[in-house]
Amino acid sequence: MRLLHPDARIDLHAHTTASDGLLSPGDLLAHARHVGLDVLAITDHDTAAGVRAALREEARTAEVREEVQEGAAAPGSRRPLEVVSGIEVSSQLGRTEVHILGYFIDPEDPGILSYEAERRGLRRSRIERMVSRLQAAGMAIDMAGVDEQIGGDGAPGRPHVARVLVARGYAKDFRDCFRRLFSEGGPGYVPYEKIAPEAAVRLIEGAGGLPVIAHPGLDRVEDHIPALKAAGLRGLEVWHGSHEAETTARLERVAAAEGLLPTGGSDFHGTGQSEGADLGRVLCPREAFVRLCEAATRTT
Q: Kindly indicate which of the ranges 83-91, 119-127, 170-178, 205-213 contains the residues binding Fe ion, using the contact rule CB under 5 A.
A: 83-91
**Torsions phi, psi of 22, nearest 5?**
-95, -20
Picked from Fe ion, Zn ion, ligand AMP, none, the partner binding residue 178 (CB below 5 to 8 A depending on kind) is ligand AMP
**Torsions phi, psi of 213, nearest 5?**
-75, 125
When asked if residue 264 is in the footprint of ligand AMP (CB under 6 A), the reply is no
Q: Kindly indicate which of the ranges 172-180, 196-204, 234-242, 285-293 contains the residues binding ligand AMP, using the contact rule CB under 6 A.
A: 172-180
When asked if residue 237 is in the footprint of ligand AMP (CB under 6 A), the reply is no
When asked if residue 267 is in the footprint of Fe ion (CB under 5 A), the reply is yes
- With beta carbons less than 8 A apart as the criterion, state whether 233 and 201 touch: yes
**Residues whose CB is less than 8 angstroms from the CB of residue 105 and which lie 6 or more positions away in sequence, other chains included:** 48, 85, 86, 87, 112, 204, 207, 208, 209
* Of 45 and 240, CB closest to ligand AMP: 45
DSSP state of 14: B
When asked if residue 178 is in the footprint of ligand AMP (CB under 6 A), the reply is yes
Angle between helices 110-136 and 197-206 (to 10 degrees): 140
First to last CA, the chain: 14
What does the alpha-carbon distance between residue 293 and residue 300 come to, in Å, rounded to a whole number? 11
Picked from ligand AMP, Zn ion, Fe ion, none, the partner binding residue 214 (CB below 5 to 8 A depending on kind) is Fe ion
Q: Kindly indicate which of the ranges 111-119, 151-159, 220-228, 290-298 contains the residues binding ligand AMP, using the contact rule CB under 6 A.
A: 151-159
Angle between helices 143-150 and 158-167 (to 10 degrees): 120
In angstroms, give the least distance from the CB of 183 to ligand AMP: 8
Picked from Fe ion, Zn ion, ligand AMP, none, the partner binding residue 27 (CB below 5 to 8 A depending on kind) is none
Q: Kindly indicate which of the ranges 22-30, 34-42, 97-105, 176-184 contains the residues binding Fe ion, using the contact rule CB under 5 A.
A: 97-105
Using the rule CB under 6 A, which residue among 25, 50, 157, 235 binds ligand AMP?
157
In angstroms, give the least distance from the CB of 7 to ligand AMP: 29
Nearest-CA neighbor of 225 among 186, 248, 245, 255? 255
- With beta carbons less than 8 A apart as the criterion, state whether 157 and 163 touch: no
Q: Kindly indicate which of the ranges 17-25, 58-66, 74-82, 236-244 contains the residues binding Zn ion, using the contact rule CB under 5 A.
A: 17-25
Q: What sign results for the dihedral spanned by CA atoms 120, 123, 129, 133?
A: negative
When asked if residue 20 is in the footprint of Zn ion (CB under 5 A), the reply is yes
**Torsions phi, psi of 115, nearest 5?**
-60, -45
Binding stretches for ligand AMP (CB under 6 A):
20, 45, 90, 157-159, 174-175, 178, 274-275
Binding stretches for Zn ion (CB under 5 A):
20
Binding stretches for Fe ion (CB under 5 A):
88, 99, 214, 267
